[in-house]
Amino acid sequence: MRIVLLGAPGSGKGTQAKRLKVDLGIAHISTGDLLRAAVKAGTSLGLKAKAVMESGQLVSDGIVLGLLEERLAQSDTKPGFVLDGYPRNLAQANALDGLLARVGQPLDAVVKLNVPDAAIVKRCEIRFEQEHRADDNPETVRKRLAVYAEQTAPVADFYAQRGLLTEIDGVGDIDAIGDRVLAALRARG
């Protein structure tokens, strides 16, 4: 099964992607992890990404798409994959559709984890206190939620129009949320 997980920052995408990897036996693909690994390995795309990141800029969609194409060519993605937090905007969604069509691996489902902003801020405050992640401080989280509402939320409509979107209540016990995600995916076939 080939899946995209959508949701606001702090909605639990990474947590549920890790669970889907185990439960469905599919690859977990995080573009952030891909970027860090490519930079560390010194690949051609990694070197390009490193130069961009060191200049304080955002890595281009073209570089990220190239990394995704390389990753999708690996054998562990043949049974399926879960994309964690990508695409983040409509241009990336269109580019991803093109890439997946080219490699013959179209999406089977898109799952959006719905979590109210107040619950996300609270989750991130707890994580900030425990893990001291700079991107989890409340002010940063509120800014990230605003960017998500503007740029990423429309991606859900993009996939809804294609009949791929399933929305899941992302509030509650992690295992219960995971069970809802699995049930929804199994219902899609």
Q: Check which CATH number belongs to the domain holding 91 and give it.
A: 3.40.50.300
Return the pLDDT at 138. Answer: 83
Degrees (nearest 5) of the Cα angle 51, 55, 58? Answer: 85
Whether residue 87 has a cis bond before it, omega within 30° of 0 = yes
| Alpha-carbon torsion angle 15, 98, 61, 14, nearest 10 | 0
pLDDT at site 53: 74
Fill in the DSSP letter of residue 10: T
Give the residue-averaged pLDDT of 163-180: 96
Q: What is the pLDDT of residues 11-45, one digit of tens each?
A: 999 999 999 999 999 999 998 889 888 889 999 98
* Residue 51: pLDDT band with limits 50, 70, 90: confident
DSSP 55-87: TTPPPPHHHHHHHHHHHHTSGGGTT-EEEES--
Report if residue 45 sits inside a domain: no
Contact (CB, 8 A) for 176 and 113:
no
| Domain-located, residue 76 | no
Gap between the terminal Cα atoms of the chain = 9
Please report whether residue 61 resides in a domain. Answer: no
**Of all residues in the chain, what percent carry a pLDDT higher than 90?**
66
Q: Are 164 and 33 in contact (CB under 8 A)?
A: no
Establish if 154 belongs to a structural domain. yes
Report the C-alpha gap between 119 and 57 in whole angstroms: 30
pLDDT tens digits along 53-68: 777 777 889 999 999 9
Distance (Å) of CA 185 to CA 1, 96, 175: 9, 20, 15
**pLDDT tens-digit series, residues 74-83:** 999 999 999 9
99 lies in a domain? yes
Residue holding tokens 């999406």?
Answer: 107
Give a yes or no: residue 122 inside a domain.
yes
**Domains: count for the chain:** 1
Is there a domain that residue 35 lies in? no
Q: Considering the chain, what is the average pLDDT of its residues?
A: 92
Q: Domain limits at 103?
A: 2-29+81-188
Q: What is the pTM of this model?
A: 0.89
CA contacts within 13 A on the Cβ side of 152 = 20
d(CA 15, CA 19): 6
Is 64 domain-assigned? no
Q: Strand, helix or coil at 100?
A: helix
